[in-house]
């Protein structure tokens, strides 16, 4: 049976799943969800995901949502022991910590700062921006002396974080002023399998959406 991914190309969490699938050489059956017309609120979709969010993965009848749960599931099922999500407890704990930092701090703060401006026409909030900058400083510290965010190897933490950090290109946030973040960003772009197809195309779609909404 195919592995179905309900997604939106511009979504950073969806792009994290696409990046992971490419790294694992998994062919996903992509199912575009039209959020504008409320497809995520239809009964059939809510049965799969009561949170009615994307991405949502369905694998042999098993549905899982939340991108970071999806990407770790994919490695656990299809590439157990892969360096992308290592089995060794300390190495895995470090990857998990970076994933939790992503969802709870960095991406959360970016979304709280930027998305109200894009989707609700809210004014810029300098205090929220300061929190994003603080999170980027922490990421910069994590990367001190490291090629990747959780050590010497590319992991799902890098794939999740790079999807969110790259989305900042649609904003005024200059994440590249942090030397370690800038270096890491370029390394991941160059070494993550299928980066152009899995992330850059969706990023361009996100940038176009932001431009069109801000102009209104």
Asked about 160 being catalytic, the answer comes back as no
Q: DSSP string covering 87-98, please?
A: SSHHHHHHHHHH
The set of long-range contacts for 166-172, using a CB threshold of 8 Å and a minimum separation of 24, is 166/12, 166/15, 166/199, 166/203, 167/12, 167/110, 167/203, 167/206, 168/110, 168/114, 169/203, 169/207, 170/114, 170/203, 170/206, 170/207, 170/210, 170/211, 171/110, 171/114, 171/210
Q: Annotated catalytic residue: which of 11, 160, 167, 171?
A: 11
Point out the residues that are catalytic. Answer: 11
């Amino acid at each position: 049976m195919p592995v179905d991914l309900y997604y939106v190309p511009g979504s950073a969490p969806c792009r994290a799943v696409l990046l992971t699938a490419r790294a694992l050489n998994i062919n996903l059956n992509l199912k575009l969800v039209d959020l504008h017309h409320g497809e995520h609120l239809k009964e059939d979709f809510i049965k799969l995901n009561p949170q009615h969010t994307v991405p949502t993965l369905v694998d042999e009848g098993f549905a899982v949502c939340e991108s970071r749960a999806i990407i770790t599931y994919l490695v656990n099922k299809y590439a157990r022991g892969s360096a992308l999500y290592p089995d060794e407890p300390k190495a895995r704990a470090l990857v998990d910590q970076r994933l939790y930092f992503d969802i709870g701090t960095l991406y959360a703060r970016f979304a709280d700062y930027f998305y109200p401006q894009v989707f609700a026409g809210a004014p810029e909030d300098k205090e929220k921006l300061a929190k994003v900058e603080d999170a980027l400083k922490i990421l910069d510290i994590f990367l001190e002396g490291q090629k990747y965010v959780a050590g010497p190897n590319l992991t799902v933490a890098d794939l999740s974080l790079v999807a969110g950090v790259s989305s900042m290109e649609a904003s005024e946030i200059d994440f590249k002023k942090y030397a370690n973040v800038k270096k890491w960003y370029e390394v991941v772009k160059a070494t993550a399998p299928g980066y152009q197809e899995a992330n850059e195309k969706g990023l361009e779609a996100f940038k176009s959406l932001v431009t069109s909404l801000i102009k209104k």
